[in-house]
Structure 1
Amino acid sequence: MIDARGRLGPYLFLAPAILYLGIWIYYPIAKNFYLSFLGSDSTRTGDYYFVGLENYRKLLSDDLFHRALLHNLAWVGLSIVIPVVIGLVLAVLLVGRRGRLFYAAVFFLPVTVAPIMAAIVWGWIYNPTFGALNQLLDIIGLSGLSQPWLGDTGTALVAVNMIGSWGYYGFCALIFLAGLQSIDPEIYEAARIDGANSFQSFWSITLPLLRPTLMFVIVYTIIGSMKFFDIIYVATKGGPDNSTQIVAVYMFDLFIRQGEVTYAAAMSMVLTAIILLMSLVVIRNVMRRA
């Protein structure tokens, strides 16, 4: 009897978490997967019927989905190049310095701002008529660069990404700072004695030892970038001319406005598979070099 209780004990402790995940995570995923193989004449009556892979075949010829997916990939690249790199540089500059906790808290403040509020405020900053950005360009004599940042197809995606980067670089800096503080300072001292300069120490010591932290940040960035939604929806709703359209915004439009529930379900399953594949590729590549 005691042995049986001992064997069941760990599962009893895990039961609440398993139940929660089953209800709110695994069941919705399974239901969504099931819906992706169905079609519907009327979503209001729930009159669904089996269509097999028809929704997935439709995705192959959906030009807007292809464009939205490319925008997602561009968002991933911008999010890795801008906030992740800025966060790493700030963390390297702060580690070991007095007052680093104060500066880390200041850098982290944008993370606490609700994305919707950030989109609204930055929308005012980008406003072509009274926005602070164009006024600043006028003051410093660069009025020729003034433009409708969110209304131009050539700048809209990058401009919206800057909003997301502003709210994300502080998170990256804090994570990298925690990772840097776990590195033994004596390693740098030994390298300095051997004649290594700051760049050599960063390249040969900091980056290799920070690889697990860097892997976490990059995977987290990929996942967040591929399912990004709120800032783009509030700032541009995918416009102008679908220049900021991403998969999550497109799915929302299909599900809420057009009522194509099953097609949106198939799209979400493809997006999930892409996120999983990209994450596994990054993890495997990093672990191979470790």
Structure 2
Amino acid sequence: MSSTSQQRVILVTGANKGIGFEVVKKLAKESPINKNIILLGSRDLERGQDALVRLGSPSNVYVLQVDISSRDSIARATDEIKCKYGGQLDIVINNAAIGGLELTVESAREMFSTNYYGIKTLNEHLFPLIRENGRVVNVASACGSIVLFEASKDLQEKYSSSTLTTVQLDCLVEGFISAIATNTIEELGYNPKSSYLIYSVTKAAVIALTRIEARQWSGAKNVLIISVCPGFCATDINKNASGARPAQFGADSILYVVNAPQSELENGCFYRDGQQLPQIGFFNRKN
């Protein structure tokens, strides 16, 4: 592996298909080969290799097997970055996520394992590798803002507290999962009629996590930690929903916060298509 000192090293998780694939495709197409080293993160190695072939096997794109729901897989991927890519990263795009409509504890555990705990654990492992002026992009969703808008004032205050810690956020997550088991979601302050309830709460947690990480980590290396909504895009997660916008548009929303000048972004905040969104709010689904 050649020296990475003059190249950006970019990891995109969940990149073998959907929005993540389009992000890698755009990065590979729009950047000179000698500018970026792109790590195409994929839970399944064979699917990652197939995605690389679909891209035309560009010489600066490499498959990195990483299942972010597995701490062991994250540790192995971290070691691989250290061994093969100089132990340095400039940008981490946490795109991997799963969805589902079933309102069960099992479904909640599975979704939070990837959508929230996976991002949290991966960032904990990779932040020491991020270079000066790097960026961490946590892909969230406007659903996360809307589900809190529809929740109780007490929950809104807890999620948006400027002193919220990861321990407290974990407690909010576990409390929600427990409420599913005891059928007390409404008593806890969530609206049981909120769309895509479990998925939406995972994304509310990601937006809150981003704010915490920005407070805790950004100062040392001038790193920006941002959450971003790709918009409602046609992907496997929604069974390529009719009327949804193309995944390429979602990739553009993500790449805005990757490439925008630092002066145009506010650390810890939430963006969609270049515009800052509130942590808690109701707005139209953007196709």
Length-normalised TM-score, structure 2: 0.29
Who wins on radius of gyration, i.e. which is larger?
A: 1
TM-score for both structures, normalised by structure 1:
0.29
Structure scoring higher RCO (CA < 8 A, sep ≥ 6) equals: 1
